Amino acid sequence: MKGAVSGKLLPARQAARATWPGRLAGFVAPFLLIWAWNLKHPLLFSLRHVETPLLVGLPLLALLICRPRLPPLPRLMLCLVLLLTLWREVEYRLQRQAVLAAGPVMQAVGSHFIVGYTDFAEVSHLAGQGLIGGIYLGKRNLLGRRLADVAAEIRALQAIRQGAELPPLIVAADQEGGAVSHLSPLLEALPPLATLVGTAYPELQATAYGQRQGLALAALGVTLNFSPVVDLRSTAPGRPDPFSNIPARAISARPQEVIEIAGAYLDGLQAAGIHGTLKHFPGLARIKQDTHLWPARLDATSHQLAADWSPFQALAGRAGCAMMLGHVILERIDAGHAASHSARIVDGLLRGTWGYDGVLLTDDLNMGAVYPRGIGRVAGEALAAGVDLVLVSYDPRQFYRAAYGAGQALESHAISRSTLAASRQRLADMTATTH
């Protein structure tokens, strides 16, 4: 009896062993398909050098080893992973090649991009060919290096620009003080501007703070700092804000305190030869979603947003001050586009109603609020709307997709030449005031 039972169990075990590769492939294949569709996604930046080999190698290995035991559906999905990966890789390479060809169209749109970088040789080529207008310095550019070495690298890039008879690069950084001090500890880490609220002579202290920080930035070669944050501090409890962390970065919940301290800080930066940036219009105080990850919508009237907007309106006229546009959809003005790429907000509200003629730049287009729309599409819409600078910082190689899309928009006349010409003039005016 025992032998009979064992005899029955043996084929069952063999059948289980025969089917488990198919079950595993059926479980893994959908995830590989999603990965292949999102090839070179910013969130997968750390896997950039291995993702294509993995997405080609794993399906091939499974098909070769397990083919006789693979059910039809997992086999089909693995084949689709292979084809999709190869298509997305070829698409990316063709777009990159088109940008690097440095034709007049790519130079025209490329000069409106600020890009992060991990490869000095790559960014040197982009700078020398007039394919970018600026660079963004982040933690990875400073990690384990001396200030003198980084400063020399920036001078070398500016020398390349001069040799090519191109305007100086805008060198941008995100050194707010407090939680966002991306150039520290190489540069001195200062407390957040919010610590000046309620102190004696806060405006004098803010001016001194700005000048102190600005001189350190200027010694490195930075010309544009993404600060101050003039979003009002949110008083809503339990706000899901893991990356933006506006409550820790905002100066105050009271508009007048924000205006006084941020304005004095900007004066200090300007005295050191550094341009500041008001961020993040239309304000993140009321936003429940974190735009690093998700789209965000704000359903409020201009009257209801008057307090949120008052620091932007009061400080927008400061000499050499830029404004950063956040990836927030204002439902009452443009329900289909975030502020960062909305013609109704850029050309209608800011340039039109407010009469603002300073430099406008987007928040990073790698962010989840806009990236799924297509980074090239969003870049083209931003420039068409009248935005002056498009930021691609976290994942620098997304620049090729973004610039290619913007180039396509220019060729199709979605971006007008007159809009780009006006933008170039604003950038020239800003650059001319840099010490």
Residues of the chain with CATH 3.20.20.300: 102-432
pLDDT digits (tens, 9 = 90+) for 167-199: 999 999 999 999 899 999 999 999 999 999 999
pLDDT, residue 247, reads 85
Q: Distance (Å, rounded) from C-alpha 283 to C-alpha 258?
A: 13
pLDDT, residue 21, reads 60
Regarding predicted confidence, which is higher, 394 or 63?
394
Determine which one of 182, 275, 292, 327 is catalytic: 292
Mean pLDDT of the 15-32 span? 67
pLDDT digits (tens, 9 = 90+) for 315-347: 998 888 999 999 999 999 999 999 999 999 999
Q: Distance (Å, rounded) from C-alpha 358 to C-alpha 339?
A: 16
Residue 399 corresponds to which amino acid? Answer: F
Q: Distance (Å, rounded) from C-alpha 299 to C-alpha 171?
A: 35
Mean pLDDT of the 395-407 span? 97
Residue 292 appears among annotated catalytic residues: yes
Residue 303 appears among annotated catalytic residues: no
pLDDT at 9 > cutoff 70: no
Question: Do 216 and 188 meet the contact criterion of CB atoms below 8 Å apart?
Answer: yes
Strand extents, DSSP E, 156-286: 170-173, 175-177, 180-181, 224-225, 277-281
- Identify which of 43-47, 58-62, 130-134 has the greatest average pLDDT: 130-134
Phi, psi of 244, deg, nearest 5: -65, -45
% of the chain beyond a pLDDT of 70: 91
Question: Do 91 and 369 meet the contact criterion of CB atoms below 8 Å apart?
Answer: no
Mean pLDDT of the 279-298 span? 91
Question: Do 71 and 44 meet the contact criterion of CB atoms below 8 Å apart?
Answer: no
Regarding predicted confidence, which is higher, 157 or 141?
157
For 102-432, give the CATH class. Answer: alpha beta
pLDDT, residue 31, reads 92
Q: Distance (Å, rounded) from C-alpha 43 to C-alpha 20?
A: 31
pLDDT at 24 > cutoff 70: no
Mean pLDDT of the 356-383 span? 97
pLDDT, residue 342, reads 98
pLDDT, residue 348, reads 97
Determine which one of 363, 364, 388, 395 is catalytic: 363
